[in-house]
Amino acid sequence: MRLVNRIGLDGLSAITSRAMNDRIPFGRFFLPGPTEVPFDLFEAMLRPVAGHRSAEVTKVVAGLQVDASRLFRTDRPVFLSTSSATGMMEAAITNLTHKRVLCLSCGSFSHRFFDIAQATGRAADLMEADWGDPNLPETLRERLAADPGRYDLVTVVHSESSTGVLNPIMDLAAVVNEFEDVLIAVDTVSSLSGARVLTDEWGLDFVLAGSQKALALPPGLALAVASERALERASEVENRGFYFDLLKFEKNIEKSQTPNTPAVSLLFALERQLTRIMAEGLEARCVRHEEMAQRTCAWVDEVSARTGKPYRVLAPEGYRSPCVTVIMLPDGLSGPEVVARVKSHGYTVAAGYGRLKESSFRIGHMGEHTIDELEALLAILDEVL
């Protein structure tokens, strides 16, 4: 605060912006998370910290609710948690099942729900698709119908950033809603604000996201929406935890507050970013992400045709994430090698995740990236491949 008082907030913002611009040219960071953050969001975070129960922060939280609810396409309030999205994944498991959870898995991050269930002592089963394939509603219906009453919660990831698969959440939720007393929890960590997420229309009971992906915010903030059915379930579950007790989130958000001390500076950044997102328009934002994904997939086909080598997109057509593409490599070339070559040109992409590390690399085309910035990256990839 002494520094702010001496040179002024505007002066500090100018110094910080200049330093960031000098060090990191914008539009070169294509990880599938955390994604590149617009410089003005860091400026928003330079606002002096205020007490989290103060009128100032309460007003910010109240104001955030309008646009955050629009983001999720819901009439329900949006919970704000100072944690990674994994914290809200844990909340889904510890609050929403007292029988057994069925975890739909098609990659590393969807498998995390099952890992959390085991770590917290909740009964759980896996329904696994091969990496690169989506979870399909027909398979889910067969599983739930085979043993009615066995499960009271289904978990699924919308955009699986380890494989680039976009699961058909609308169809999966429709199946879950055929079965009485079964809830559905959805991880939209790398899809919210980049793909369409219609919480109320699709009948989703719990939807969670993180700040550091398509929202293009710094890491450290999780957002979630709970249906009335979900909160009713939580009230019936014993030992649902303390920090991630959904009933505490609901009680506090009614007062435009959070249960525990939040990362106030991240709330200031979220406030500004929601303004940017709404100015672009949710539909326009989704279309921009789809165009980047389509261009990336077309480029992969071009490279394969030009080189005669089997470069290919891992996820099948119709189930490709608009936010991240996983590109399988021919023999003799590894994911870490591609990453290193691209880095030597000042750009950042990611190697494949987990079992795909050596055989693939990933492009995160989400957040505030544009087609022109993507084209610049693809030109570099043309050179290094």
Strand partners for 125: 102
In the prediction, which pLDDT does 116 show? Answer: 98
| Total H helices, total E strands in the chain | 15, 13
CATH 3.90.1150.10 spans which residues of the chain? 283-384
In the prediction, which pLDDT does 52 show? Answer: 86
The pLDDT profile of the chain, 385 residues, written as one tens digit per residue, is: 444 444 455 655 554 555 445 445 788 999 999 999 999 999 999 999 988 888 989 999 999 999 999 999 999 999 999 999 999 999 999 999 999 999 999 999 999 999 999 999 999 999 999 999 999 999 999 999 999 999 999 999 999 999 999 999 999 999 999 999 999 999 999 999 999 999 999 999 999 999 999 999 999 999 999 999 999 999 999 999 999 999 999 999 999 999 999 999 999 999 999 999 999 999 999 999 999 999 999 999 999 999 999 999 999 999 999 999 999 999 999 999 999 999 999 999 999 999 999 999 999 999 999 999 999 999 999 999 9
Query: In CATH, which of 3.10.20.30, 3.40.640.10, 3.40.30.10, 3.40.50.880 is domain 55-277?
Result: 3.40.640.10
Amino acid at 209: A
Domain over 283-384 is classified CATH 3.90.1150.10: yes
CATH 3.40.640.10 spans which residues of the chain? 55-277
Encode 95-119: b = buried (16+ Cβ within 10 Å), e = exposed.
Answer: bbbbebbbbbbbbbbbbbbbbbbee
Rounded Cα–Cα distance for residues 194 and 288 (Å): 8
* Neighbouring residues of 120: CB distance < 8 A, sequence distance ≥ 6: 90, 93, 94
In the prediction, which pLDDT does 7 show? Answer: 47
Distance of CA 171 to the CA centre of its chain: 20
* Neighbouring residues of 263: CB distance < 8 A, sequence distance ≥ 6: 82, 220, 221
DSSP output for 245-269: -HHHHHHHHTTT--SS---HHHHHH
Q: Is pTM beyond 0.85 here?
A: yes
In the prediction, which pLDDT does 332 show? Answer: 94
